[in-house]
Amino acid sequence: MDKRMLLSNLDVMATAPGGVARLRELILTLAVQGKLVSQDPADEPASVLLQKIRAEKDRLMAEGKSKRDKPLAEIGEEEKPFELPQGWEWVRLGSVLSLEYGAALPEKERLPGSIPVYGSNGIVGFHTSALVSEPSLIVGRKGSVGAINISLVPFWPIDTSYFVTPPRGIELHFAFHLLRSLGLAKHDKATAIPGINRNDVYAEIVGLPPLAEQSRIVTRVEELMRLCDALQAKGQLEAAQHAQLVSTLLGTLTASATPEELAAHWQRVARHFDLLLDRPEAIDALEQTLLQLAVRGLLVPQDPTDEPASALLQKIRAEKDRLIATGQIKRDKPLPPITDEERPFELPVGWEWVRLVDVALRGPSNGLSPRPQELPTDVRCLSLSATTQGFFKPEYFKYVDVSPQAVQQFFLKNGDLLLQRGNSLEYVGIAAIYDGPDDAYIYPDLMMRLQLSECVKTEFVHTMLVSADGRSYFQRNATGTQGTMPKVNQATVAGAPIPLPPIAEQSRIVTRVTALRRLCADLRQRLADAQTTQSHLAQALVESTASV
């Protein structure tokens, strides 16, 4: 494949996952292989450039301005990665470019000034004097290893970086693109702080073009990189516009006041499903919309013959009174009635607003986090990751140093409802149902547990808690900052407003939600498969283009 075919397939590459990044890599690969621009036989060949570079090095050594380079290994035929264009020369990088160490400049010693101070990946401050006065490159040595920056003005590179001042035979911006094409991070051999050794970089084998061709390559690369910028901006704009479209259309569904309105709005949205559901975040938004419709009574029809929720509440209160009388549970602390401001929507006939504690027989109660152990013990304690996605993931746990008898009250039972009382604002209060075996895990201090009455479907309550209305409640009522981990207390969890339908309708809703969420999962998988195919196609285009 030649560069014309590359240009004709830009759309395929740019729309694939990570496609623009791959496209940028491909452009650099083609550039340093001499495949982006045509060669001119009138150009002074690179062999002459090498003679001039060597003469300049000899002069600097004679003047005591530089040291003699360590000898580099000859380049074997089997080491040459591609066929060189006419007029180019194979060189080891260290024979034409020198990586010099930056100098320490503690932050407290950086004075206000106009001289940029470069760390391993960009400007980290300013100073009043420069260490390097000529236009040069800055290469990340520690930390952001292999990151390449360019400075056209005097600057100070600190000791986490190298700086490269190309000789007169190498165009600065060509050297910039050449180093970027090499992927220098591959030379990181550090175990704690990432770092690269310049001798490894010096051993790299590169093709050196004539100076005039270097300039043509730079012009072409920058032209194509601007095109990549435009493709990336276009993709970001399209993503923002798509998100707005999804939000607007799905918003009409949640704004529906009656099943008839929902049906009309659904027909309008369904006509655009092929446009709406072409990316994972759109499917996430659809699933969240379905949850909101479910807990508002708009997913399944109401049946006037269902026993109303008010009767359920009487049964739950009677069950609690019996357990209190036998000493099995304690009486709940009284909570105020639910106000109009706490009710995010109107309820269908036969439903009731309740607080979460009204339908719970036990809890909310905090867990326990004993000291973790590396070796297996008799007790496994869940980690937050076990419920962060809104469903139970049994593989996330730690063995802890405690006997089963000492933590008997914290062992989970199948069907327990778990909420995270502390996490980032995005996840604080997130709920999941424990669907593992009884007494297999305890739950940690940053979770709370509730055991609900059999007069309610735990799956329905969970649907409310993970819906947009439920998540909004916990995020609004969390205390603390992002830096100190937002938390919700037991009173907040106990007081969460829950719309309670008749038990028969709860069952119908749970069945419908389960089926629709399974459909969303299937859609995600199909989309992932399609994106994988698209990504493979883009990669094949990249590889076939680079191999010619």
Contact assessment for residue 300 and residue 293, using Cβ atoms and an 8 Å cutoff: no
DSSP state of 127: E
Calculate mean pLDDT across residues 497-501: 95
For residue 68, pLDDT over 80 is answered with no
What digits encode the pLDDT tens for the residues 514-545?
Answer: 998 888 888 888 777 766 665 665 565 555 55
d(CA 436, CA 414): 6
DSSP at 357: G
Q: Is residue 3 pLDDT above 70, yes or no? A: no
User: Which DSSP symbol is given to 75?
Assistant: P
Beta carbons of 151 and 135 less than 8 angstroms apart: yes
The secondary structure of 13-72 as a DSSP string is HHHSTTHHHHHHHHHHHHHHTT-SS---TTSPPHHHHHHHHHHHHHHHHHTTSSPPPPP-
Q: State yes or no: cis peptide before 364, omega within 30 of 0.
A: yes
Cα radius of gyration rounded to whole Å, the chain? 33
* pLDDT for 69: 74
Sequence letter at residue 311: A
Query: CA-CA distance, 55 to 51, in Å (whole number)?
Result: 6
Q: Express each pLDDT in 321-344 by its tens digit.
A: 898 888 888 888 888 889 988 898
Average pLDDT over residues 242-262: 67
Within 10 angstroms of residue 261's Cβ, the number of other Cβ atoms is 14
Query: Average pLDDT in the 170-176 region?
Result: 94
Coil, strand or helix: which one is 535? Answer: helix
- Residue 158 contacts residue 105 (beta carbons within 8 Å): yes
Give DSSP secondary structure letters for 171-236: -HHHHHHHHHHH-GGGG---SSS-B--HHHHHT-EEEE--HHHHHHHHHHHHHHHHHHHHHHHHHH
Instruction: Report which DSSP code applies to 379.
Output: -
Distance CA 435, CA 415 (A): 6
The candidate with the shortest Cα–Cα distance to 398, out of 417, 408, 384, is 384
Burial state string for 510-521 with b = 16 or more CB within 10 A and e = fewer than 16: beebeebbeebe
Q: What is the mean pLDDT of the chain?
A: 85
Q: What is the pLDDT of residue 1?
A: 40
Share of the chain above pLDDT 90, in %: 47
| pLDDT higher than 70, residue 276 | no
CA 504 – CA 498 distance, rounded (Å): 17
- Which amino acid is present at 449? R
Q: What is d(CA 274, CA 527) in angstroms, rounded to the nearest whole number?
A: 11
Sign of CA dihedral 538, 22, 178, 192: negative
Please report where in the chains the tokens 């479907």 appear, as a residue. 457
Instruction: Report d(CA 146, CA 153) in Å as an integer.
Output: 21
Please give the Cα distance from 369 to 402 (Å, whole number): 10
C-alpha 178/C-alpha 36 separation (Å) is 13
**pLDDT at residue 89, as a whole number:** 92
pTM across the whole model: 0.60
pLDDT tens digits, one per residue of 76-106: 888 888 889 999 999 999 989 999 999 999 8
Distance of alpha carbon 231 from alpha carbon 449, whole angstroms: 49
For the chain, helix (H) and strand (E) counts, in that order, are 15, 18
pLDDT digits (tens, 9 = 90+) for 210-231: 999 999 999 999 988 888 887 7
Amino acid at 73: A
- Are 427 and 476 within 8 A, CB to CB? no
Whole-number Å distance between alpha carbons of 13 and 508: 45
pLDDT score, position 482:
55
For residue 225, the one-letter residue type is M
Tokens of 534: 């698209």
Copy the structure tokens of residue 371.
């000291």
Question: Under a CB-based contact definition with an 8 Å cutoff, are residues 456 and 359 in contact?
Answer: yes
